[in-house]
Amino acid sequence: MLKRYTNEQLDELVLALEERTSTVSTDIVNTVRATLDAIRLGGDRSLRNMTKHFDGIDIECFVMTREEKERQLAKVSPELYAAMERAAANIKAFHEKQKTQSWVTAENGIVMGQRVLPLRRVGMYVPGGTAAYPSTVLMDAIPAKVAGVKELVICTPPKAEGVSPAAVAAAEIAGVDEILTIGGAQAIAALAYGTESIERVDKIVGPGNIYVATAKRLVYGSVDIDMIAGPSEVLVIADSGANPAYVAADLMSQAEHDPLAASVLITTDASFADAVETELNRQIAGLSRRDIIEKSLAANGACVIVPTIEEAVALSDRIAPEHLELAVRDPFAVLGLVHNAGSVFLGDNTPEPLGDYYAGPNHVLPTNGTARFASSLGTDSFVKRSSYLYYNDAALDAASDDVIRFAEAEGFTAHANSIKVRKEGTSL
């Protein structure tokens, strides 16, 4: 089920993983651009027309009422609600430790500092149907609230049976302020530009289909966005002491996302790789998403045998996986060698689904090699930094000549004059 790659084929493997994300067609881009323009120009009227066209629902007020929330919450089992509360507590505790602080210094007549300010209003997109993941609601909303975001609003497609009860429960637990029943690229437009009844946001986060992702890309600049996420991926580094049943299960846990998901095994032991293959074939028979898993592993499943763990880590760093599992005897020692990974899972008892749902670290992670330079969603994603500066007379006098030299070297005489008029009391 996993394609074997030799050391001579590593470039081919890296390229194959990078090419999983297909280029968005011109037709889709043009369709989304037209949608954005329609909402920007037509506001609520266009939003209602598109909701009728795409979702088949006539809607007057986009804001979910408290009564509707209560109806959906009543459908959630107490056990699931309690599990989400425990997960939320873990997520909050982790992100509390991420908070960046403001600071100030004052010496020699100079005061300078940095203010860390939360974004005022953030929009979250929550897909409809089976993709209305409550875990993603928690992962998006809780860091925003920890960061101090005042207004957090969700957009999710309207459905005859109502919004996903689990998503509503997650929103309630996370402290989401408002749920808007609008979906698709038109929801992104409403968040980015605002309408008569919907106030624009400062940032948009959350996953969606190709139209939603394209809309996020196109509105970036009018608002901030989290990222354009690609297909999910897991890479497992394993030595001969790893449990093949565990590794096989973890590879398939990512493969079941969609056929473009990637599951990669790098091991120092060829017999272990064979044992993993055996476990894959054994375990897959009992899984509900077998068809998707088989397609994913056939297209994007890979196995590489390397001489050493160090070489395994070097290859992993080239791939820069979203999820990296270290199924090795001393995972903490190996962790120190890792440079590029969205999130790292250490040892037999730390499968990737712990991170997806429960443990605390954010599961919104860089994909498709972007872990080389990008980070997970966190509290820093929901703040901005603003500096401030004060010089007294003596401090300005001490710095004046240096600033003038810089300005004149760059040909900006007005910059130099701004200093000279204070230093000399005259201007050009």
With a CB cutoff of 8 Å and minimum separation 6, the contacts of 166 are 76, 80, 84, 132, 134
In a domain, 367, yes or no: no
In a domain, 329, yes or no: yes
Q: Tell me, what's the pLDDT at 22?
A: 63
User: Does 249 lie in the same domain as 218?
Assistant: no
Which CATH number belongs to the domain containing residue 332 in this structure?
A: 3.40.50.1980
User: Does 304 lie in the same domain as 179?
Assistant: no
Q: Tell me, what's the pLDDT at 76?
A: 96
Q: What is the mean pLDDT of residues 273-279?
A: 97
Q: Tell me, what's the pLDDT at 18?
A: 85
Q: Tell me, what's the pLDDT at 131?
A: 59
Residue 322 or 19, more confident: 322
Answer yes or no: are the C-beta atoms of 237 and 312 closer than 8 Å: yes
Q: Tell me, what's the pLDDT at 414?
A: 96
User: Does 53 lie in the same domain as 15?
Assistant: no
Residue 206 main-chain phi, psi, to 5 deg: 110, 155
Planar angle of CA 203, 225, 66, nearest 5 degrees: 45
Domain termination site, one of 175, 210, 225: 225
CA distance 64 to 55: 16
User: Does 235 lie in the same domain as 181?
Assistant: no
pTM of the full structure: 0.92
Domain termination site, one of 360, 378, 412: 360
Q: What is the mean pLDDT of residues 103-119?
A: 97
Q: Tell me, what's the pLDDT at 129?
A: 64
Q: Tell me, what's the pLDDT at 427?
A: 54
What is the rounded end-to-end Cα distance, in angstroms, of the chain?
77
In a domain, 387, yes or no: no
Q: Tell me, what's the pLDDT at 380?
A: 97
C-alpha torsion angle, residues 143, 360, 225, 228 (rounded to 10): -170
Q: Tell me, what's the pLDDT at 423?
A: 85
CA distance 136 to 346: 22
Judge whether 339 counts as a catalytic residue. Answer: no
In a domain, 379, yes or no: no
Question: What pLDDT band is residue 1 in, cutting at 50, 70 and 90?
Answer: confident
Answer yes or no: are the C-beta atoms of 220 and 240 closer than 8 Å: no
* Chain centroid offset of residue 289 CA: 24
Q: What is the mean pLDDT of residues 10-21?
A: 86
Q: Tell me, what's the pLDDT at 8?
A: 86
Q: What is the mean pLDDT of residues 182-209?
A: 95
Q: Tell me, what's the pLDDT at 425?
A: 72
Residue 428 has pLDDT above 80, yes or no: no
User: Does 198 lie in the same domain as 79?
Assistant: yes
Give Dmax (Cα) for the chain: 86
Residue 201 falls in which region: left (phi positive, over 0), alpha (psi -120 to 50) or beta: beta
Residue-wise over 169-205: b if at least 16 C-beta within 10 A, else e? bbbbbbebebbbbbbbbbbbbbbbbebeebeebbbbb
Question: What pLDDT band is residue 21 in, cutting at 50, 70 and 90?
Answer: confident
Q: Tell me, what's the pLDDT at 177?
A: 96
Q: What is the mean pLDDT of residues 220-248?
A: 94
Residue 202 main-chain phi, psi, to 5 deg: -95, -25
Residue-wise pLDDT for 51-101, tens only, equals 999 888 898 899 999 999 999 999 999 999 999 999 999 999 999 999 999
Query: Exposed (0-12), middle (13-18) or buried (19+): which is 410, by Cβ within 10 Å?
Result: exposed
The mean of the pLDDT values for the chain is 94
Query: Exposed (0-12), middle (13-18) or buried (19+): which is 141, by Cβ within 10 Å?
Result: buried
Judge whether 322 counts as a catalytic residue. Answer: yes
In a domain, 375, yes or no: no
In a domain, 384, yes or no: no
Domain termination site, one of 195, 225, 255: 225
Place of tokens 């999910």: 232
CA distance 154 to 139: 13
Residue 223 has pLDDT above 70, yes or no: yes
Range of the domain at 170: 26-225
Give me the residues paired with residue 151 across strands.
Answer: 121
User: Does 148 lie in the same domain as 72?
Assistant: yes
With a CB cutoff of 8 Å and minimum separation 6, the contacts of 349 are none
In a domain, 354, yes or no: yes
User: Does 342 lie in the same domain as 219?
Assistant: no
Token pair, residue 410, equals 């760059």
CA distance 377 to 227: 9
With a CB cutoff of 8 Å and minimum separation 6, the contacts of 162 are 68, 71, 72
Question: What pLDDT band is residue 398 in, cutting at 50, 70 and 90?
Answer: very high
Residue 161 has pLDDT above 90, yes or no: no
User: Does 298 lie in the same domain as 208?
Assistant: no
User: Does 194 lie in the same domain as 59?
Assistant: yes
Closest C-alpha among 126, 169, 119, 167 to residue 144? 119
Answer yes or no: are the C-beta atoms of 250 and 284 closer than 8 Å: no
Place of tokens 């509290």: 379
CA distance 415 to 295: 62
User: Does 92 lie in the same domain as 185?
Assistant: yes
Residue-wise pLDDT for 331-378, tens only, equals 999 999 999 999 999 999 999 999 999 999 999 999 999 999 999 999
User: Does 356 lie in the same domain as 256?
Assistant: yes
User: Does 341 lie in the same domain as 285?
Assistant: yes
CA distance 341 to 320: 5
Which of 279, 322, 325, 352 is flagged as catalytic?
A: 322
In a domain, 300, yes or no: yes
How many structural domains are present in the chain?
A: 3
Q: Tell me, what's the pLDDT at 254?
A: 93
Residue type, 121: R
Residue-wise pLDDT for 281-290, tens only, equals 999 998 999 9
Which of 323, 325, 352, 363 is flagged as catalytic?
A: 323
Q: Tell me, what's the pLDDT at 20?
A: 81
